Amino acid sequence: MSTTTPTPAEGFPLAGIPGHYAKDRGDDIVARADGDTLTWRELHQRSNSVARGLIDRGAEVGRIVTLLIPNSTDLIVATFACYKAGATPQVLSPRMTPSELEAIIELANPVVVVGEGDEGQPSHRAQAGSTPGGGTSAVTLAALAAGHSESDLDETRIPTSWKAPTSGGSTGRPKVILSGRPGVTSAFDPSFWRINPGEQVLITAPMHHNAPYSTALSAIFAGGTVTMMRRFDAERTLSEIDAVGATWVYLVPTMMRRIWALSDDVRSRYSLASVASFWHCAEPCPAWLKRRWIEWLGAERIWELYAGTEAEAGCTIRGDEWLEHPGSVGRVTWGEIRLVDLDGAEVTEPGGTGEIFTRVPQGNPPTYRYIGAEPTVMDGWSSLGDMGRFDADGYLYLHDRRGDMVTVGGVNVYPAEIEAALIEHADVQTTAVIGLPDDDVGNRLHAIVQPRDNSIVDPGELHRFLAERLSTQKRPRTIEVVTHSLRDDAGKIRRSALRTERLEGRTR
C-alpha cells in the first residue's frame, strides 16, 4: 500500500475522500468483504454514478437515504454516493420486518430506500418499506448507476449530518439519532478509538450498528482498509486477522466468548501479531472473560469503550488499567459525566450510585439530534438511563439501566450484576434477569437462561452456583431455561419486552 497520499485536513468534505486517495492509490484496496474487494478508483467511480442516480431521485442536503445493505463493498459505495449527493446515509438491518422498517421510514422520511437485489429489482425488504407516507422509492445500486457517468460531479455537497443511526430504545419505539457533525472529516472519532492513518481494520459486527459503522468509516477517511465480515464466525475471525494483517479489530463480548470457547489448539494456529488493539463495547464484558483475553493477548492490546450513540461523553480503558480497576469502563475520555441519585441530587462521594448524565463541554456544539424522541435532560445534562458509580480514582463502573432496576423488599437490585454472575457458568450462553410482581416483597427476581450450544442446564445447579457468588437479596427466586436466543434482530436484550411476555403468558 502506498503511503504517499496525506490524510485530508480537518473539515475536508467526505464527498471528496474517494477522489483524494484515488489520485495516487487508485489500485489499493479500500474495502473487502467475503472475497469481494473494492479499490479506491472503483469506489470513486462507482459512487459518482450512484450519486447521480440519487440526485435524480431528489437526494439533496438535509435529506436521508436509507440503506438496506448488509456488510459489503456495496455498502461502502452507497455511503459515499450519499455523501456526494449531499444526503445523510442511514444504514438499517436488511432483516427487519416490514412493520419495523415502516416505523423507521415514517420517522426518517428518506428520499430513497436502497436495497440489495438483481439489477433493477429492489430487495423484498426494500419493497416492503418503500411507500409508507407516500413518495419514497426503493432501488438497487445497479439501478441507480444505470446510464450515469462515472466522472467527477460538478459540485461538492456537504450533508448536514454524516450519519443517522437508529435505536429501538428501552421501550422498543424507534428513534433516529442524527449526528451533530456535518459531512466533513474530524479527528474526534479516530482520537478516542485510537484509529491511526492507514489502519487495517477488521469489522466483525453488522454495520447497521453505530460503532462498527463509525469505526469502519473513520478508518477509510484516514486512508485505511476495512475488512467486513458478513456473518461472524469465531475461527474465521482469527483467520481473517492473519490473512489481511489486521491492526485494529472490533468485537463485542459475545464474540469474545465464542472465540475463547475455541480449543487451545485452534486458537494457537493463528498469530494475531499484527493487531495493535482489540476493542470491545456495546454490552458488559464478564470479568472472567476479560481476564482470559488479557492473559492471552496482553493487557496493552485490549481496549474497552463506554458511550452512547449520542456521543456527548464517553470513557475508555486499556487492559492494564482494568487490572488495577477490575470491572471499570474507564475514566472520562471526552465530554463531561456526572451522577445523580434517585432524589435528583448530584452524587459526589466515591462509591455512591447514581444515574449517569452527560453533556458536551460548555460552548461546544450539540453532538446529536433525535427524530422521534426527546432526550431526558436536567439542567443541560442528558441521561441515557444507565446507573453507575465512580471510584476514588475517577473510574466509572456500570450497574444497570435505571428502568431495569428491580426493587425487592425495599432493596434496589441491578439485574446486570446477577447476569454477570450467571454467565460465569460454563453452560450459560446468555441470560436476562427481570422483576415479576410478588405479593410479599413487591417484586421477585426471575432469571431467563439460554444454554450454551446443546448444554443441559439444571436450574437447581444454577441456584447453588449463585449462592456462592451473590447475597440472598440478589439471587433470583426462579430460573427459566429457554432454547431460543434472548437477543432481538438488533442484538439487544430487551428486558421490558421479556417481562411483558411473561406477564401476558406469551413465552415461547
pLDDT top residue among 289 and 135: 289
CA distance 130 to 124: 10
102: number of Cβ within 10 Å: 17
Least confident of 262-271, 311-320, 362-371: 362-371
Question: pLDDT tens, 408-439?
Answer: 766 677 788 898 889 889 899 899 999 998 87
CB–CB of 367/310 below 8 Å? yes
Task: Check residue 357 and give its pLDDT.
Answer: 95
With pLDDT > 90 as the criterion, what percentage of the chain qualifies?
68
The helix (H) or strand (E) run that includes residue 314 is strand 314-318
- Tell which of 138, 159, 184 closes a domain: 184
Over range 99-123, report the average pLDDT.
77
C-alpha closest to that of 173 among 95, 92, 97, 107: 107
Which pLDDT does position 170 carry in this prediction? 44
Q: What is the DSSP letter of 387?
A: E
- Residue that is last in its domain, among 160, 184, 208: 184
> How far is 397 from 411, CA to CA, in rounded Å?
19
Using alpha carbons only, give the angle 186, 314, 222 rounded to the nearest 5 degrees. 25
Query: What H or E segment, with its residue span, contains residue 106?
Result: helix 98-108
Confidence of residue 491 (pLDDT cuts 50, 70, 90): low
Q: Is 216 within a domain?
A: no
* Interval 271-282: pLDDT, tens: 999 999 999 998
pLDDT for res 168: 59
d(CA 246, CA 224): 11
Using CA atoms, how far residue 504 sits from 53, 167, 169, 497, in Å, is: 48, 25, 21, 11
Closest CA to 244 of 466, 465, 460, 35: 35
pLDDT value at position 342? 83
Q: Is the pLDDT of residue 94 over 60?
A: yes
Q: Is 449 domain-assigned?
A: yes
For residue 495, the domain's CATH number is: 3.30.300.30
Task: For residue 57, give the CATH number of its domain.
Answer: 3.40.50.980
Inside any domain, residue 415: yes
Average pLDDT over residues 397-411: 74
Q: Is residue 400 part of a domain?
A: no
Q: pLDDT tens digits for 39-88?
A: 999 999 999 999 999 999 999 999 999 999 999 999 999 999 999 999 99
Q: Find the mean pLDDT for residues 158-167.
A: 95
pLDDT at 228: 98
| pLDDT number for residue 493 | 81
Q: What pLDDT is recorded for position 496?
A: 79
pLDDT of 126: 42
**C-alpha R_g of the chain:** 23
Burial (Cβ within 10 Å: 0-12, 13-18, ≥19) of residue 415: buried
- pLDDT score of 417: 80
CA–CA separation, 17 vs 445, rounded Å?
52
Number of independent structural domains in the chain: 2
| Position 472 in a domain | yes
Sign of CA dihedral 400, 403, 408, 412: positive
Do residues 301 and 319 make contact, with C-beta atoms less than 8 angstroms apart?
A: yes
Mean pLDDT of the region 359-380: 90
Kind and range of the H or E run holding 431: strand 428-438
Residue 228, domain member (yes or no):
no
The answer, yes or no, to whether residue 125 has pLDDT greater than 80, is no
**What pLDDT, on the 0 to 100 scale, is given for residue 182?**
97
Is 281 inside any structural domain?
A: no
d(CA 354, CA 346) in angstroms, rounded, equals: 8
E strand residue ranges, 42-109:
64-68, 88-91
List, for residues 166-179, the tens digit of each pLDDT value.
975 444 478 899 99
The top-scoring range by mean pLDDT among 319-333, 373-387, 450-464 is 319-333
What are the pLDDT digits (tens) for 292-344? 999 999 999 999 999 989 999 999 999 999 999 999 999 999 999 999 998 88
Q: What is the pLDDT of residue 415?
A: 85
Predicted confidence at residue 3, as pLDDT, reads 52
- The parent domain of residue 44 ranges over 14-184
CB 267 within 8 A of CB 240: no
Is 413 contained in some domain? yes
Give the three cell numbers for residue 176.
433516529
End position of a domain, from candidates 149, 164, 184: 184
C-alpha cell at position 155: 459540485
